[in-house]
Amino acid sequence: MPAPANTFKKRLEARETQVGLWVSSGDASIAELAAGCGYDWLVIDGEHGPNGLRDILGQLRAVGDKSHPVVRVPDDNRATIKQMLDIGAQTILVPMIDSAEQAREAVRSMLYPPKGVRGVGAAVARASGYSAIGDYTQTANETVCLLVQVESLKGLEALDDILAVEGVDGVFIGPSDLGTDMGYGPDAPEVREAVTGALKRIQEGGKAAGVLATVPDVAKDYVDMGVEFVAVGGDVLVLRAALCDLRAKF
């Protein structure tokens, strides 16, 4: 039996737009709730959210197959990527990629030999159904999905080289860090122009493009552009806004 299909990856390859939500709370109940709201994908945030390995495992179980979980790791550490794949994440988002060499190393971390260097522990891993998926190590390379996050001026300068790296399935532009590097807030016109230009370059380079946009009109513009994976909000932001709105009524 082969590794389970990655529907998120297949839709990226088909250049379909998928709408997602950031889950930063570190809470499995919130992840489960969000998964039932129709989002195509959810980012379980291990970079800025209070998430350890067991926290992320709990959220993967809570989300199940109701939405596609994308795990953002804290950095491009090889051991961390291996652990996230072993606990069942199929799609990994790696932040702060500034060069093609970084992207190539991330690809190697995702894949079993001979294409990569992922350690083999499938016999005891959730990813293989704890050995129920007998062909996991032979088929997993085709089902894992690597998204790299470009969020600096240095990264933008290297974007064409990053796009040429085989094994990178999508490139996500991070407006907040990019804006800070440019000396602006994430919603400044200068930042939006840079983000839009980068997204077009990604698509022209043959990769799936992704972005986070918490302003609905901006998110709709990216959807209309055909950006393949668009996050339109975050659990913490949505919850706080709803709570403040409710309180303001009394």
Active-site residue set: 48
CB-based burial label for 141 (10 Å; 0-12, 13-18, 19+): middle
Q: Give the whole-angstrom CA distance, residue 22 versus residue 245.
A: 20
* Chain center to CA of 58: 18
Q: Give the whole-angstrom CA distance, residue 156 versus residue 195.
A: 9
Which tokens sit at 246?
């409710």
CB count within 10 Å of CB 31 equals: 28
Contact 112, 121 (CB under 8 A): no
| Upper half-sphere CA count for residue 200 (Cβ side, 13 Å) | 9
Whether residue 114 has a cis bond before it, omega within 30° of 0:
yes
In the chain, the amino acid numbered 38 is G
Which tokens sit at 40?
């195509």
Q: Give the whole-angstrom CA distance, residue 137 versus residue 85.
A: 12
